Amino acid sequence: MLDKLGVTLPIVQAPMAGVSTPAMAAAVSNAGGLGSIGVGATDAAGARAMIAELQARTNRAFNVNLFVHATPVADPARETAWLESLAPAFAEFGATPPDRLTTIYKSFTDDPDMLTLLLEVKPRVVSLHFGLPSADIITALKQAGILLLATATSLDEARRIEAAGIDGIVAQGVEAGGHRGVFDPAGPDAGLSMATLTRLLVRETHLPVIAAGGIMDGTGIAAALALGAMATQLGTAFIACPESSADEGYRRALAGSGAYHTQLTSLISGRPARALANRFTALSETLAGHRTPDYPIAYDAGKALNAAAKAKGEFGFGAQWAGQGAPLARALPAAELITTLAEELAVAQRLTPFGVS
């Protein structure tokens, strides 16, 4: 499977739309891992430019990640109510909420241009988050020779991924930063950890499992491999890399006390996502009970609030996604981080096994 992924190390750099960059992905791929870009928050033209930059920087395999959420349903009354509930936060920065909210980017399911681009460019790997596209789309991608991965947060989702003919599962533990890949955000979520979910999927499915969530160093990779994962996916470990597009406030927050208190919240984007504790996540106390607009319509409001706050020097309303391992993040160049992870993994695996009598 690692051969199929085109890597020499069992390390995937998580896509992280808005944080990862083609430069980061290229550095990771060139260093023996699988670099990823997230194109879920852009359109086919934007994706084409990112892929072109990536291809200019590496000849190695890379992964292109797509959001496959349900088509959002506009609901003007709900959106207006939501904007009203955010108005006091805007007012703190002398701003008012936008008049209306829009669907700021399409689901892959609703974006035939993106499919056309992928079939033309043929990245080695395409990974899917939030759900699965139609059987026709999956067949077209597979016939183009693309290896497909999809995120599961539960055994039920993993079984749907397996039944759809996907090649591998990203087992996303509750520790993971950013958006939880739950197929249905309105459904129950057992919040399985990386270790529990990985073990369950290794035992109960037949697909290769890539473990994600809270993995920050080589010992974490060794632990996931011990659980039967064939590789690992790390996101938060790369946020502080110089190649990331995290802004100054995000980097500062990652190195601060909020890193010890990451929180799952739907307030920022309309879907549950794990972020550093900041001014935005603190709104959960006053906004509990309010219903957000559909993802990503709510994100339009979240981004507007962040822009208003940032204009006044307040970085605490950013979508500062991070996983529970945030306190262990290192500000190394991506290639150096990959080399370090590989060395730590080798050390962890060389340690004398516990002597069972």
Residue closer to a copy of itself (CB basis): 106 or 179: 179
Name the minimum Å distance from CB 231 to a copy of itself. 9
Name the minimum Å distance from CB 211 to a copy of itself. 10
Residue closer to a copy of itself (CB basis): 178 or 213: 213
Name the minimum Å distance from CB 330 to a copy of itself. 12
Name the minimum Å distance from CB 155 to a copy of itself. 6
Residue closer to a copy of itself (CB basis): 5 or 200: 200
Name the minimum Å distance from CB 249 to a copy of itself. 21
Q: Which stretch binds a copy of itself (CB under 8 A): 134-142, 159-167, 239-247, 323-331?
A: 323-331
Shortest CA distance to 128 belongs to which of 259, 120, 111?
A: 111
Within 227-246, which residues bind a copy of itself (CB under 8 A)?
A: 227-228
Residue closer to a copy of itself (CB basis): 210 or 223: 223
Residue closer to a copy of itself (CB basis): 192 or 301: 192
- Judge if the upstream peptide bond of residue 296 is cis by omega within 30 degrees of 0: yes
Residue closer to a copy of itself (CB basis): 74 or 346: 346
157 binds a copy of itself (CB under 8 A): no
Q: Which stretch binds a copy of itself (CB under 8 A): 15-23, 50-58, 72-80, 324-332?
A: 324-332
Interacting residue with a copy of itself among 19, 325, 329, 337 (CB under 8 A): 325
Residue closer to a copy of itself (CB basis): 50 or 322: 322
Within 162-221, which residues bind a copy of itself (CB under 8 A)?
A: 173-175, 188, 190-196, 199-200, 203-204, 213-217, 219-220
Pattern 30-59, a copy of itself, x by CB under 8 A:
--x---------------------------
Say how far apart CA 168 and CA 12 lie, in whole Å.
Answer: 13
Helix orientation angle between 44-57 and 22-30, rounded to the nearest 10 degrees: 40
Say how far apart CA 285 and CA 281 lie, in whole Å.
Answer: 8
Interacting residue with a copy of itself among 87, 226, 311, 331 (CB under 8 A): 226
Residue 94, token pair as written in the block:
């002398």
Interacting residue with a copy of itself among 324, 334, 335, 338 (CB under 8 A): 324
User: Which residues in this chain contact a copy of itself in the complex, by CB under 8 A?
Assistant: 8-10, 32, 154-156, 173-175, 188, 190-196, 199-200, 203-204, 213-217, 219-220, 222-228, 260-263, 323-325, 327-328, 342-343, 345-346, 348-351, 353-354, 356-357
